[in-house]
Structure 1
Amino acid sequence: MVKIKMDYFFNLPTKIYFGNGSLKELKEAKSLGRSALLVTGKHFAKSSGLLKKVESILVEEKIKTTEFCGVEENPSVETVEKGGELARRKKCDFIIGLGGGSPMDAAKGIAVLATNSGGLRKYFGSEKLKNSPLPILAIPT
């Protein structure tokens, strides 16, 4: 019989807050830095008042916000690259994806491009990132 060592350590540093009033936990974002890029879709985050509410919580915590609104369904490479450039130019410390799947997907690519040179296509396949992406905070709707 072959003996296999089964000792291991697994760490997945993810926190999930779910339920009524969980948006108040956004105050923890100050541990990620002082400047956030808010990535949203075209309509819901603004029209529902959610974007304004998120911004007011962040401002209370003295976190500067930059909006990147209007992410289309199935975000294009060009949209993600524009977001990455904006995050670099504004020296954002972290990214907040706010909305449905498209803003969340865009936020992930933007986080990569904010800290790594070149276009998004460079990282398709096996190209390794030189730098870790910016932290991402996700607020699904």
Structure 2
Amino acid sequence: MADDAERAAAAAAKLLGTTVNGHLVRSVYVEERVAIADEYYLSFVLSGARSEVLVSRSGGVDIEEVSRTTPEKLVRLRIDPLNGLDTWIATDLWYDAGLRGTSLPRIAALTTKLYDAFCRADALLLEVNPLAIDAAGHSARRRRDDGNRSRRPV
């Protein structure tokens, strides 16, 4: 992380033209640093014929460890494939996870949008850890399983 634009440019310049995992670095994506107010966990996984969503207010940590030591911090729901994931269901899900206040409707809406993206991508897994929240909005990462590229080319 860089403290200012000048240092970010210098760090990017060091990367350009290098090789990472056998790939030539031709460009560098730079984002503004954001002060994180809170971190949550959100994932969707295809489990048999149904999708499942898992949420927690304990984001940014090893979720497997949370599952072993404090499973009550995780809330899981099998999603009805005919009805999908409505905002009101996502709101209840996050409420059950202990989320309250003005973030609740925003996180619920984001959850339904990410579920839609998960379905459109024909994904096996979409995991956001951490789902980082700040005063301006949300920041998320997506890891894509490339095993389905034949069905969904990039």
- TM-score (normalised: structure 1): 0.30
- TM-score (normalised: structure 2): 0.29
Q: Which has the higher strand share?
A: 2
Q: Which has the higher helix share?
A: 1
